[in-house]
Amino acid sequence: MTQQPKAIVQTVRCEVSIFPPGDINRRTFTLYVERLRNRRPSEGEWRVTDGQYGYNERALPDTDIVNAPGFDEATALSIATEAARHIVVNGMSATEVYERTHPAKVDDRCPGFCIPCMTDESHHPAP
pLDDT score, position 13: 93
pLDDT score, position 114: 54
Mean pLDDT per block of 10 residues along the chain (127 residues) reads 88 93 94 83 82 92 87 94 94 94 65 51 53
3-class DSSP assignment, residue 122: coil
Per-chain mean pLDDT for the chain: 83
Q: Residue type at 25? A: N
